A = this chain, B = another copy of it.
Amino acid sequence: MNAFSVADPTTSKSLDALDDWEVAVIDLFLNAANSFGLPKSYGQIYGLLFCRDQPLAMDEVMELLQISKGSASQGLRALRQLGAVSSVFAPGDRRERYMAESRLRKLVGGFLREQADPHLEKGTARLKQIESLVNNIEDVGARKRGARRHEILSGWHRQMSRLLPWVKMIVGKSDRLPQKSSD
């Protein structure tokens, strides 16, 4: 696949070269993205950037992963939104370039912030709605049953709210392994 592509420095066209291990890592993230409820292209993009030391431009991502402009654009946007990817400027190049965030704490934090927190908020609203519906029940027995369910759900909600900070703590403990350069 990547046998002897010696990179003509004048053309930026000689990038169709993913190492085998890179393919494996990209595939790992593809599957991981799926499990987290994200589109697989997001996983691929993140995986590619994760493998690279140098930030990549969008068209390089498209080329290397063989995905469309739309996917690349949307994927990079979502990943930035999640804090999983950050953009940098290479001087003398108008294109924006992207690199992966590799600190687990940040990744988890962003995911929780963008996914879990909104759900918890929506949960609060829904619990209120359920509570009011329950309070409108005429029959006493039925109302009691509803009230009990509302209590259980409220308890769950509370527990989940408590859990998230702990997750951030625990994951934040020892983060990335030592590397040659610090940040």
Asked whether A19 and B153 contact (CB < 8 A) given A129-B24, A159-B104, A167-B167, the answer is no
Most chain B CB neighbours (cut-off 10 Å) among A24, A122, A137: A24
Q: Which stretch from A8-16, A72-80, A84-92, A168-176 is at the chain B interface?
A: A168-176
Expressed in whole angstroms, the Cα–Cα distance for A154 and B122 within the complex equals: 35
Interface status of A134 (Cβ within 8 A of chain B): yes
Given the complex, which residues of B lie within 8 Å of A162, measured CB to CB? Answer: 170
Q: How large is the interface on A (under 10, 10 to 19, 20 to 34, 35 or more residues)?
A: 35 or more
Q: Is the Cβ of A24 less than 8 Å from the Cβ of B133?
A: yes
Q: Is the Cβ of A24 less than 8 Å from the Cβ of B167?
A: no
Most chain B CB neighbours (cut-off 10 Å) among A19, A129, A163: A19
Given the complex, which residues of B lie within 8 Å of A163, measured CB to CB? Answer: 167, 170-171
Within the complex, the shortest CB–CB distance from A168 to chain B, in Å, comes to: 11
20 interchain pairs (CB within 8 A)? A19-B142, A20-B133, A20-B136, A21-B130, A21-B133, A21-B137, A21-B149, A24-B130, A25-B149, A35-B115, A50-B149, A51-B145, A51-B149, A53-B145, A104-B155, A104-B159, A148-B179, A152-B176, A154-B177, A166-B170
